[in-house]
Every structure is written in C-alpha cells, then in structure tokens.
A and B are shown apart, each in its own frame.
Chain A
Amino acid sequence: DAGVIQSPRHEVTEMGQEVTLRCKPISGHDYLFWYRQTMMRGLELLIYFNNNVPIDDSGMPEDRFSAKMPNASFSTLKIQPSEPRDSAVYFCASSYISGANVLTFGAGSRLTVL
C-alpha cells in the first residue's frame, strides 16, 4: 500500500478563495482523521469519520470549514472562504480498530493564505 495520500502538498491562495484538500486513506482502514498543525496550537483534531460517517466534528473551527467522505477511499476538507489565520499544515490520518488506534499520517498539505 502507498500509505495515506494527500493532495495538494502545497497550496498558496488569496484570502476569500475556496480551498479543497484531499485525502486517500489506506485501503481497509475504517477511521479517517483530519488534523491541523500550527506552531501556536500544535496538532488539533478537526473531525473524524468511521466507515465514512462523521463521528465528531467538534474541532472544526467554524462554518467556513466542512469535510466529507463520500466513500471509503476518499475524503475532502474544504475551507470557504479562506482567511490568513487558516494557514497551517493539514494532516489526514487513517487507522483501523483492532485493539489499538494506531494512526498512519499522510505527508500533509501546507496551506498558505495571503
């Protein structure tokens, strides 16, 4: 397996634009997590899915953020409209519950909002 695949790796956009980040989890994993990492706030859990169903979105900062998982092999995190304070590295991670919740992270998407 190629691991968790995220795209784009880098995104530079202007304030007010829509941003879509994509994630392909490891085949067979039934949990998918979106994290945001900044120097100030560390690794924050935004939302996670189990079997494509959102379980906990309490970490989503505001209504500008939305996430979907239409099938077991694809998820998106959308920010509309984007703001400079959204600049961060966004990680997707997947796992399966088999006695331990071991997260495998993607390489991350570095977002810069000007």
Chain B
Amino acid sequence: GENVEQHPSTLSVQEGDSAVIKCTYSDSASNYFPWYKQELGKRPQLIIDIRSNVGEKKDQRIAVTLNKTAKHFSLHITETQPEDSAVYFCAPGGIWGGSEKLVFGKGTKLTVNP
C-alpha cells in the first residue's frame, strides 16, 4: 500500500512569511496529488490539487509543485495570514484507473503568528 510522509509535522511562521510543506509517497502509480486543510474542530476540505501530467499549479496565494521522479509534492503558501493556521494533509492517490482510495499523511500543523 501507499506510504505517505509529511514534513514538517509542525510549522510556525510570522504573518506575511511563506510556508512550505512537503509530502513524500511510495506508490509510483499515484497520479493525483491533493492537499486538504482542516481548521480546528472542522472537517478537512480540499484546497488545491494537481495531476501527474502537470508540474505546478497556483491558486492565488497557494501553489502545489510535483516531482514525480523523486515521488514528492509540496504545498506552498505565500504571504501567510492568521486564517491560514490549520492542519494540512496531503493525500496522494489514483485516478483514471488507479486506486480510488486516498491515504492521508499525518498532517502538518501550521501556526501563523500575527
């Protein structure tokens, strides 16, 4: 099965700084790479995803980059704001004939200090 690791497990930044969270995976068949955000007491929600035929995707202040050769992908948040404080999960998996199930990493707790 898929082994997923996230680093770091906790990250504290000052408001306005950038944050980067890295996710490594083991299954070379994975071709879908999403990031979920979970605020305290809330449900996980998809914030950005990327497919294996694309190296990078941006959506305003967040971006995801993929290195399929090295089997890792990263979440980048620029100009961080206090409302970015949450736990972020990666969940590499398959689409288009791959495994439907998404295995979640252990999460990265991001704290943005005002």
A interface bracket (residues with beta carbon within 8 Å of B): 20 to 34
B102–A45 touching, CB < 8 Å: yes
Chain B contact surface mostly: loop
Contacts of B49 in A (CB 8 A): 100, 102
The segment out of A48-56, A68-76, A79-87 that lies at the interface is A48-56
A100–B43 touching, CB < 8 Å: no
A80 → chain B, closest Cβ, in Å?
A: 25
B45–A105 touching, CB < 8 Å: yes
B95–A33 touching, CB < 8 Å: no
Residues of B80-114 at the interface with A, using a CB-CB cut-off of 8 Å, are 89, 91, 93-96, 100-107
A105–B100 touching, CB < 8 Å: no
| Cβ-neighbour of A100 out of B32, B101, B103, B105 (below 8 A) | B32
A105–B43 touching, CB < 8 Å: yes
B44–A105 touching, CB < 8 Å: yes
Closest to B93 in A: A101
Residue numbers of A with Cβ under 8 A of B are 31, 33, 35, 42-43, 45, 48, 50, 55-56, 91, 97, 99-103, 105-108
